[in-house]
Chains A and B, each alone.
Chain A
Amino acid sequence: MRSFCTLAGIRFLLFGMLAYNAAAAQSKVLIPMDLSQTDHLKAYGIAYWALTKGIEIDWLLNYRGGSFMIDDHSVVSAECRIRGVGFTFVSASEASQIYSEVQQEDNNMDVIRLEKAPKVAVYVPPGFQPWDDAVTLALEYAEIKYDKLWDTEVMADKLNEYDWLHLHHEDFTGQYGKFYASFAQATWYIEQQVTLEREAKKLGFKKVSELKKAVARKIKEYVGSGGFMFAMCSATDTYDIALAAENTDMCDVMYDGDPPDPNAQQKLDFSKTLAFTNFTLEKNPLRYEYSDIDQPPSDLLGLQNPETDYFTLFEFSAKFDPVPTMLTQNHVNVLKAFLGQTTNFKKNLIKNTVTILAEKEGLDQVRYLHGNFGRGTFTFYGGHDPEDYQHAVGDPPTDLSLHKNSPGYRLILNNILFPAAKKKQQKT
C-alpha cells in the first residue's frame, strides 16, 4: 500500500516537538543539501537506500537546502562515503538544536518524516535505453530501483502495484512524437510506428491513438486512486491533450491511416484534463508541436539564448504547504533552463486549481507545476534534460557524474521522495 502525504499542508502538531526531541536523543548523520554537498543526486539515493533498509529519515525542509537527518547507524555513514555523499555527524544536543531551529514558528522550515521507499514505475516502451530520459538517468545515477511498464501492463492494471509513476517524452496523442516531417524515413521511426501499431492491435485497439487515450485514462484512474504521477517534456501536454480528445480524432492520415476529425478542436473536453484548459490543437501534421500549451513553440526554440535562459522556483510555506515545499527543495532558486519538445507551459492555459512551482519570470511561461486529482497528485516538469540545453535525437547521453550537483535534476528526485513522506494528520 502507498504511504500518503497530506496535501492540505497543515502542520501535525502532535507529531511535533515531542517526537523529534525523542528522535534527537541520539547522535545523527546530517546530509546537508546546500552548496557544501558533494553529490546532491546520490544523496537522494542514500535517502532511498536507507528507506529500503527500514531506516527512517527526517527531511528538513528549507534547512540547508532541504537536508536529510538520519540516526547514526554506522552503515549509513559508510554508505555515504562509498557513494561520495557529503555528511557530518551531529551530536544529540546539536541535533536537538537543529530540530528546534526548524520547528520555530518564525522559520520557514519543517520536518517531514520519510518512512517507506516508494515503489517506482517508469512508463517506457520495450527496448528503451535509460540514457534518453532524464528521470531514468537520475534514477540510475542515484541507484533508485524502478520497474519498466508499458501499455500492456498499464491496461492490465499493474499500475496499482506502484506508488510513483514517471512519464517522459511519450506522445499520448498517438502522433509518434510528431517526428514525421524529419524522420519519416528513419528506421527507428518506422519500426516504432509498426511496434506501436502491433501493440494497439494486440490490446484490441484499431489505432495507436485510441490505445494511448485508453492508457491516459488508466493513468488518470491510478492518480485518482492515490498514485503519484510525474511527467516531463512532451508527456505533460500530450497527456492532457489525449484526455481532452477522448471523443475525437486529432491524428492525420500519416499517423493513423485516416484524416483527423475536422471538428476535433470543438470536440475537446477540457473537463477531463488534469492541468490544462482551453488550449488549441496544432493541426499541421508536419509541425513539431501539439498545441499552444508549449511555450515557446518547438520550432522557435532556436531563438532561445542559453546564456540568459533561467527559471525561478517559488517559495512556499514549509509548515502550511509541505507538498510544494518538498517538490521545490533546492540549493538555488534560480535554475538554468533547458529545452524539450515541451519546454514551458503557457500560464493562461493552466487550470486555476493547479499550483505553479516554477516559472520563467515575466514571460507567463510556467516550467514546473503540481496538482491534485482524487486522492493522488500529478507534477509536470517542462524540458527534456536539465543538463543538456538542447537535447536532440541521437545525441549522446548525459553523464550525471559530471553534474552531481545539478539543481534541475534535484527537482526530479524531490518527486521520488515525496511519496515516501509520512501522512500528517489534518489540523481540523
Chain B
Amino acid sequence: MNRNVLKKTCLLPAILCAITVWPCAGTFRVAAQSPDTNNRYRLAQSYEQGGDFENAAKLYRELLLADPANYVFFDGLRRSYFQLKRYDDAIILIRQRLISNPRDLNLLCHLGSAQYQSGQEREASASWEQATEVDPKNANVYRIVANTLIENRLLEKTAELYRRARVACNDPNLFTLELAQLLSATMDYAGATTEFLRYLQQIPTQLGYVQSRMSQYTGKEDARNAAIDVVRSAQRRSDDLNLHRLLAWLMMEAKNFGEAFSVYKRIDALTNAQGVELHSFADRAYKEGAFGIAAEAYRAAIATPLASQRLPHAKFGLALAVKELSILEDSIKGTLQAAGTVPESQSRFVTAIDHFRTLITEYPNSEFAARAYHQIGLLQFEKYFDLDGALASFQNVEKGLSPMNPVRFDALIKLGEVLTAKGDTATAAIRFRSVMAAPNATPDQQDEATYRLAELEYFAGHFNEAIRNLDAISTNLKADYTNDALLLRSFLQENSQGAEIPLKEFARADYLARQKKYTEAISLFQNVIDKNPQALFVDDGMMRIATLQTKATRYADALATYQALVSQFKESSIALDKAQFSIAELYDYNLNNKVQAIAAYEKLLADHPQSLLNEKARRRIRELRGDSL
C-alpha cells in the first residue's frame, strides 16, 4: 500500500479528533485546575460579560501567568485587550503564543486584526498573508482569513482574497455566491453579475434564485445596465437558454421591450415553443402599454405558427394592439368634423378594423367574433360617427355573446347611445332599461344605463322622469356617473320651474348637439336665448354655443361667445370661471397664442380666486412660461 495514502488515512481521523476536542481542551484544562483557579476564571468571565474589561484582563493575565499554555485564559485576555483597545498588548500576547504555534491560523488572523486596529496596516496584511500560507491549497483557510477581513470591513481586500483562493485551490468556482454577495454589497454590479452567472452555470436550475438575488440591485439603472452588459457579453460566448432568459428579464425590468422582444424570439426558437413564449411576451408588453412591440410580437407568434387554441387569442391581441396604436397616432384625439366625414388622421383606424374583421371571418359565431364586433362598433361610433355601421356591429355583439357576458352589457349601452344619436329613442330606452334590470350587469353598468335613460327623458322634455332617474344615481356616491347626474339634475331643477317650454327647446338643441348637428344646434340655442333673455339657462346656452363653435373649429366665434358671456354676466353666472378658462384654453391650444393664453389664465386667477379650475390654470401658466415644476 502506498505509504502516503496510509499516512493520509490515519491523519484525517486524527485531525478531525483534534478539531472536535480542541475547543473543549481549554475547558477541560480549566476544569482540571484547582477550585481557586476555577473561581477566578469564572470571575474573569463575569467581569467580561459585565463589560468590566479592565478587571477581566487583570484576572485573565494572572491566570495565564499561572498556566501559560492554557488557550482559554489566553483567548480571554486577548478578547479583553481588544475590548480595551490595548492592541499593542494584544500583539505582544499573540506573538508570544505564536512562538510555540507559529502556524496557528486563528492566531495569525487575530494578530492581523490587532495590527490593523492599531494602525499597522502593512504588518496586518503580512500577518493575514502568512495565515493563508499555513495551507495555501485549503479553501477553508481562505474562508477563515476572509471572515477576519470582513470583520475589519476590508471588503475589497476580501474579494481579492476569494479570487486568489480560486487560483491557489485550482477551482474557478470557489466562493461564487460569497463573491457575488460581497461584490453586490460593494456596488460592483458587473462583478456580482459575473459571479451569479458562474453560479447559474454550475446549477442551471437556480435561475429564479439568481433573479431574486440580482433583483436587489437591478432596480437601479446603473446597476441594471452593468448587469445587462455582463449578460450580453456572456451571451456572445454561449447560446445558453438561461442567459437569454436572464437578459430578457433584465430588459423587461428596464422597460426595453424592443430588446426584450429580440431575446424572446431567440428563447422561442431555442425552446421550440412554437410562438408560446412570443405570445406570453406580447401579452405582457401590451399590459405595459408597449403596443408597437406587442403588435410585432403577436405577429411573430401568429407566424410561427402558434398552436390553434392560442391563435385567436393572439389575433385578438394583435387587433387590440393595432387599435391602441391608432388611437395614440390620432392627432384629432376623437374630435370629429361634421358627421360623415373622415379626417385623414382617422383613416388609420381602418387597419385595426380590418384586423377585427379578419378575426370575425376566421372565427365566426365565436366569442372572439363578438368581441371583435364590439371593438369595431366602438371605433365606428366614437371615431367615425358611422351610426349604421356601429348599430350593426353592436347588434352582432348582442346576438353573439351570452346574456351573462359583461361585454354584452357594455355593447347594449353603446347600442342605446347609437340609437339615441339616430333618433330612435324608444328603442334606445329599451336597451338602457334591459341593462338596468339585468342582475348580471355590474353596478357601474347599471348606473350608466340609468344616466343615459335620464338623458333621453331630458331630451324628450320629460323632466320629472329624468330627475327621478338621476336621483337614483346621485345618492350613490361611489357611482362613476354621480357628478354627471348631479349636474344635470341641478340644471333641470333650476330651469324647469316656470320655464318648461323654453327648456324643452333647450333640450332639443342639446339633442341636436348630441347628434352632432352642430349648425342646427347652435342656431336653436341662439334662438332660445334670444327669445328668453331672462331665463336662467342663458349662460348655459352661451357656454354650449361656444363649445359647439370650438368643435366646429370656429375659434373666433367661440372666443366672441365666451367673451360676451363673461362681459354680459359678470357676477351673475356660475359658469364665468369656466368661460374664462375656456378663453385661455382657446388661446393656448387652438390659437397657439401663448401671451394671450397666460393673460387669460391670469385673469381667471384674479377674477375668480375660489375657482376649482385655478390649480389647472396655475400649472398651465407655469408650463407656458417654462418654470421647472
Contacts and interface: CB of A to CB of B under 8 A. Distances in A.
B85 A84 contact: no
Given A190-B185, A257-B152, A262 B615 contact: no
A83 B618 contact: yes
B217 interface: yes
Given A81-B609, A83-B618, A259 B155 contact: no
B618 A258 contact: no
B602 A82 contact: yes
A104 interface: no
B54 A187 contact: no
A110 B540 CA distance: 51
B605 A262 contact: no
Nearest to A255: B153
Contacts of A253: 151
Contacts of B187: 191, 194-195
Contacts of A58: none
A132 interface: no
A84 B153 contact: no
A387 interface: no
Interface string B156-191: 000000000000000000000000000011110000
B618 A84 contact: yes
A78 interface: yes
A81 B615 CA distance: 10
A83 B617 CA distance: 10
Interface string A241-269: 00000000100010011110110000000
Contacts of A249: 85
Contacts of B606: 81
B151 to A, nearest CB: 7
Nearest to B622: A82
Interface string A283-321: 100000000000000000000000000000000000000
A197 interface: yes
A2 B59 CA distance: 60
B185 A261 contact: no
A194 B602 contact: no
A82 B51 contact: no
B37 to A, nearest CB: 26
Interface in A9-27: none
A194 B185 contact: yes
A249 B216 CA distance: 33
Given A81-B609, A262-B51, A194 B155 contact: yes
B85 A82 contact: no
Given A82-B605, A262-B84, A194 B618 contact: no
A90 B436 CA distance: 59
A81 B599 CA distance: 12
A389 to B, nearest CB: 27
A78 B602 contact: yes
Contact of A257 (B83, B119, B153, B184): B153
Contacts of A256: 153
A185 B187 CA distance: 15
Nearest to A77: B606
B602 A81 contact: yes
B70 interface: no
A78 B82 CA distance: 68
Given A84-B614, A194-B185, A257-B152, A187 B602 contact: no
A82 B117 CA distance: 60
B162 to A, nearest CB: 17
Specify the main secondary structure of chain B where it touches its partner.
helix
Interface in B300-340: none
Contacts of A259: 82-83, 85
Nearest to B604: A81
B94 interface: no
B616 to A, nearest CB: 12
A82 B216 contact: no
Interface in B42-66: 51-54
Given A187-B216, A191-B185, A194-B187, A261 B85 contact: yes
B289 to A, nearest CB: 23
Interface string B422-449: 0000000000000000000000000000
Contacts of B54: 262
B426 to A, nearest CB: 49
A206 B124 CA distance: 15
Interface string B594-629: 000000001001100100001100100110000000
Contacts of A197: 153
Interface string B214-244: 0011000000000000000000000000000
Interface in B444-489: none
A256 B117 CA distance: 10
A264 to B, nearest CB: 11
B82 A262 contact: no
Contacts of B51: 262, 283
Nearest to A191: B187
Interface string A93-107: 000000000000000
Interface in A64-106: 78, 81-84
Interface in B186-210: 186-187
Nearest to A87: B609
B76 to A, nearest CB: 15
Nearest to B87: A258
A195 B217 CA distance: 15
A206 B121 CA distance: 11
B145 to A, nearest CB: 16
Nearest to A127: B220
Specify which of A81, A206, A261 lies most central, judged by the most chain B CB atoms within 10 Å of its CB: A81
Nearest to A208: B153
A194 B192 CA distance: 15
A82 B618 contact: yes
Given A191-B187, A257-B151, A262 B614 contact: no
B82 A258 contact: yes
A283 B83 CA distance: 14
A156 to B, nearest CB: 24
Contacts of A191: 185, 187
Interface string A327-345: 0000000000000000000
A262 B609 contact: no
A107 to B, nearest CB: 30
Contacts of A84: 614-615, 618
B531 to A, nearest CB: 39
A397 to B, nearest CB: 16
26 contacts: A81-B602, A81-B606, A81-B609, A81-B618, A82-B618, A82-B621, A82-B622, A83-B618, A84-B615, A84-B618, A190-B185, A191-B187, A194-B186, A195-B187, A197-B153, A249-B85, A256-B153, A257-B117, A258-B85, A258-B117, A259-B82, A259-B83, A262-B52, A262-B53, A262-B54, A283-B51
Given A249-B85, A257-B117, A262-B52, 4 more contacts: A81-B605, A84-B618, A194-B187, A257-B151
Q: Which 9 A-B pairs have the closest CB atoms?
A: A81-B605, A257-B153, A187-B216, A190-B185, A259-B83, A257-B152, A258-B117, A82-B621, A82-B618
Interface of A: 78, 81-84, 187, 190-191, 194-195, 197, 206, 249, 253, 256-259, 261-262, 283
